A and B are shown apart, each in its own frame.
Chain A
Amino acid sequence: MSNAEPADTWVIIPSYNDGEPLGDVLAQLAPFRYSVVVVDDGSKVPVAQSVSRPGVRILRHCVNLGQGAAIQTGIDFALKSGAKYLVTFDADGQHLADEIELLLEPLRSGKAEVALGTRFGGGGRAINISRGRTLTLKLGTLWSRRTTGLDITDTHNGFRALSRRAAGQLRITQNRMAHASQILEEIARLAIPYVEVPVTIRYTEYSIAKGQKLSNAMNILWESISGKFS
């Protein structure tokens, strides 16, 4: 497989204290010919090389910085390794590996530089999503549409693909959760051509327990606003 020559599509997985689910995600990705980089964001128990498979690199932040910082580290590393396409993928099993191709298609065909996954727009699915979360995300989407002017149907969806060009242009400085808004702001500011691609988000017991609490939306809003002044 990809032992000698790493594939030019890099899947970036930020991970913090994900044990088994991360192993499952890597197993899910294994049949595909992608290069994978896991950025262990200072997990209490370091992501073991043992979960590693051929084509998977593991980077470790020696202190916990946040998901945004982990993604940027993954982007830096992938670019340095010659990535042509970069995909951000959650460690908790919310995303489907076989949908990565859907995100890559518009980049390969030159239709866009960034493909944003949407769980709400035309054909996108959110399995097991709660009403409260749907409402919060829809409000968040409204907010993102207003602040960025982008024509989007979803926000804070961690499943996206970027061309090398786009990944080199944008810079995530929001270390924690507000990076998802920042990516949209950067796309708007730099006028990077983007498309939305319907994807499936699968909420599992693990991802619900681990992921964003709804009450966190206020924190993200605050981070997002205060980050602009620092």
Chain B
Amino acid sequence: MHLIQPLLLVAFLIALVVYLRFLRSSLRDRLLGLFFFGIACAAVLVPDSTQRVADLVGVGRGTDLTFYLFAVGFVFFAVLMVSKLSRLNRSLTEVVRRVAIIEAEPTGTEHPRSLGMDQPAGPDRTRL
């Protein structure tokens, strides 16, 4: 076993533990994380395996295949982040807006909960 192998395995393991321990996510996401962890470990422990898959799909070297997959994964990740960010931004807008309106209320006349209920709801009003 080369020195790089345990190093990579430890790095993957830390990432997995951090993900499972500190980031709450759905069971599906956790299983997906475990799945990718498994694949990564297999690729490290059996270096030949990426080469065999590469031959199978018509890529010259296993390293190249790994790189391509990484690129694809990164693009997915970026798109996911951008859409998450924009959803977060919409929620933030809604919160800041409501705080601004509640603060402007003459105190005690109205329960904050009734906010916005007396307006006709547009089609997108409730979608954040």
Contacts and interface: CB of A to CB of B under 8 A. Distances in A.
B101 A59 contact: yes
A203 interface: no
21 contacts: A59-B101, A60-B100, A61-B97, A61-B100, A62-B99, A62-B100, A69-B93, A69-B96, A69-B97, A73-B101, A76-B97, A76-B116, A76-B119, A77-B104, A80-B118, A168-B120, A169-B122, A170-B122, A171-B122, A173-B124, A230-B86
Measured as residues with beta carbon below 8 angstroms from the partner, the interface class of chain B is: 20 to 34
Contacts of A39: 100
A80 B116 contact: yes
A10 B78 CA distance: 42
Nearest to A170: B122
Contacts of B101: 59, 73, 76-77, 80
Given A62-B96, A73-B100, A80-B101, 17 more contacts: A59-B103, A61-B100, A63-B92, A69-B93, A69-B97, A73-B97, A76-B97, A76-B101, A76-B116, A76-B119, A77-B104, A79-B119, A80-B119, A168-B122, A169-B120, A171-B122, A171-B125
B11 interface: no
A58 B104 contact: yes
B63 interface: no
B93 A65 contact: yes
A175 interface: yes
The secondary-structure label for the interface of chain A is mixed
Interface string B41-75: 00000000000000000000000000000000000
Given A57-B104, A230-B86, A175 B122 contact: no
B93 A168 contact: no
Interface in A24-67: 39, 57-63, 65
A150 B99 CA distance: 35
Interface of A: 39, 57-63, 65, 69, 72-73, 76-77, 79-80, 168-171, 173, 175, 230
B65 to A, nearest CB: 31
Contacts of B83: 230
Contacts of B120: 168-169
Nearest to B85: A230
A93 B116 CA distance: 31
A21 B124 CA distance: 35
A78 to B, nearest CB: 10
Contacts of A76: 97, 101, 116, 119
Contacts of A69: 93, 96-97
A58 B115 CA distance: 18
